[in-house]
């Protein structure tokens, strides 16, 4: 377990140290983490040599509209509660290629709906309560199962390891798939008559939600619950991803990994958001950050907020007096949930 620096521990005071200890206890509850071997995963990107990765990533960011372009889904199936459809970006795993989403209609939504993207390793019940809380605020919700999660997990996995892993190429593919799945889910909501669309993403889901919102002008408001600059920095520094870093170390440097994973990093698309704002108007944005977060280090959230404000992009901030894991327990989950729902109700 990576130790918290003594100077930093002193800086946060007694309360902060208590939260950090709580974070570590919650983190240790999951005893099924596996350090998987490093792989370049070039086959996931159609590449032949690791030397091609930098150029591939640069092209993807530069031409991101094309990178996240997808063919319209034609096989939506809805049983009144669950939505299912084929992922626009299939993988080699049949289970992962069928997208599942739970629909929570509000009685009087008034054309307003929120796409909800849960955190990494969320189980099938994750964020169901948040969707019902959105309903209480008059907002319909569609909760998406992310790639390699719950019903989409290949049988050989216990966790959503293939969504974030020591395979460089598969991680890019998985999160590119997540962005396309999210946009296809927005298509379904729009087809049902919802014209005021929002996104709410948590942790890994916040990364996907931000990239989807930047590339989809229909999204009016976004809540990004725990956010960072670059995908690689969270994996390298975060408590939740220590086992992923263990598979990467010795094979790839952080600077290189940051570049390779730029196409799935929010910081890569801040300028794209500025362009979108000039073309279709502002994305009403709420950034939620936790003061004692050991998984999404607070300085990374600060840098991301600074990037938005430097470009004059509207951004509200909500700080929680807890950490990453403790956001999901009382009383912090109510602070978080109510704050996010209020923002969306006022801005959709």
Determine the 3-state secondary structure of 95 from DSSP: helix
Contact 206/179 with Cβ under 8 angstroms? no
One digit per residue, pLDDT tens: the chain, 348 residues?
344 445 455 577 899 999 999 999 999 987 779 899 999 999 999 999 999 999 999 999 999 999 999 999 999 999 999 999 999 999 999 999 999 999 999 998 889 999 999 999 888 888 999 999 999 999 999 999 999 999 999 999 999 999 999 999 999 999 999 999 999 999 999 999 999 999 999 999 999 999 999 999 999 999 999 999 999 999 999 999 999 999 999 999 999 999 999 999 999 999 999 999 999 999 999 999 999 999 999 999 999 999 999 999 999 999 999 999 999 999 999 999 999 999 999 999
What whole-number distance in Å separates Cα of residue 141 and Cα of residue 150? Answer: 19
Q: Which residue has the tokens 């169901």?
A: 128
Contact 283/277 with Cβ under 8 angstroms? yes
In this structure, how many other beta carbons lie within 10 angstroms of the beta carbon of residue 335?
17
Q: What pLDDT, on a 0 to 100 scale, did the predictor assign at position 7? A: 46
- From the list 126, 111, 209, the residue with the least C-alpha distance to 160 is 126
Q: What pLDDT, on a 0 to 100 scale, did the predictor assign at position 9? A: 56
Q: Per the omega criterion (within 30 degrees of 0), is the bond before 284 cis?
A: no
| Straight-line distance from the first to the last Cα atom of the chain, in angstroms, rounded to the nearest whole number | 42
> What tokens does 38 get?
């490093």
Q: What pLDDT, on a 0 to 100 scale, did the predictor assign at position 10? A: 53
Contact 178/208 with Cβ under 8 angstroms? yes
Residues in the chain: 348
For the chain, the structural domain boundaries read 6-347
Domain covering 6-347 in this structure, CATH number: 3.40.50.1820
Residues ≥6 apart with Cβ < 8 Å to 343: 221, 223, 284, 286, 316, 318
Furthest CA-CA distance within the chain: 56
Contact 142/58 with Cβ under 8 angstroms? no
What whole-number distance in Å separates Cα of residue 197 and Cα of residue 189? Answer: 8
């Amino acid at each position: 377990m990576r130790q918290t620096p003594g100077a930093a521990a002193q800086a946060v005071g007694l309360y902060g140290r208590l939260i950090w200890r709580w974070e570590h206890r919650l983190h240790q509850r999951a005893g099924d983490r596996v350090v998987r071997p490093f792989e370049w995963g070039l086959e996931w990107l159609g590449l032949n040599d690791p030397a091609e990765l930098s150029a591939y990533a640069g092209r993807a960011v530069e031409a991101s509209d094309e990178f996240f372009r997808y063919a319209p889904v034609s096989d939506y199936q809805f049983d009144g509660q669950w939505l299912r459809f084929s992922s626009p970006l299939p993988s080699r795993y049949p289970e992962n290629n069928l997208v599942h989403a739970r629909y929570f209609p509000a009685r009087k939504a008034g054309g307003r709906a929120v796409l909800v993207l849960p955190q990494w390793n969320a189980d099938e019940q994750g964020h169901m309560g948040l969707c019902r809380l959105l309903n209480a605020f008059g907002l319909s919700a569609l909760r998406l199962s992310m790639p390699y999660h719950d019903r989409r997990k290949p049988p050989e996995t216990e966790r959503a390891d293939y969504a974030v892993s020591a395979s460089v190429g598969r991680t890019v593919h998985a999160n590119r798939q997540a962005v396309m799945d999210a946009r296809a889910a927005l298509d379904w909501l729009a087809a049902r008559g919802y014209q005021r669309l929002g996104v709410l993403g948590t942790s890994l889901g916040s990364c996907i939600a931000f990239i989807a919102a930047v590339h989809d002008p229909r999204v009016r408001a976004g809540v990004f619950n725990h956010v960072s600059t670059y995908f690689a920095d969270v994996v390298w520094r975060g408590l939740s991803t220590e086992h992923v870093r263990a598979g990467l170390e010795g094979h790839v440097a952080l600077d290189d990994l940051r570049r390779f994973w730029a196409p799935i990093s929010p910081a890569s698309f801040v300028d794209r958001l500025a362009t979108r704002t000039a073309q279709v108007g502002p994305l009403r944005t709420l950034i939620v950050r936790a003061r004692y977060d050991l998984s999404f280090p607070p300085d990374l959230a600060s840098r991301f907020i600074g990037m938005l404000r430097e470009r004059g992009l509207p951004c509200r901030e909500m700080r929680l007096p807890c950490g990453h894991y403790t956001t999901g327990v009382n009383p912090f989950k109510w602070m978080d949930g109510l704050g996010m729902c209020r923002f969306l109700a006022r801005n959709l």
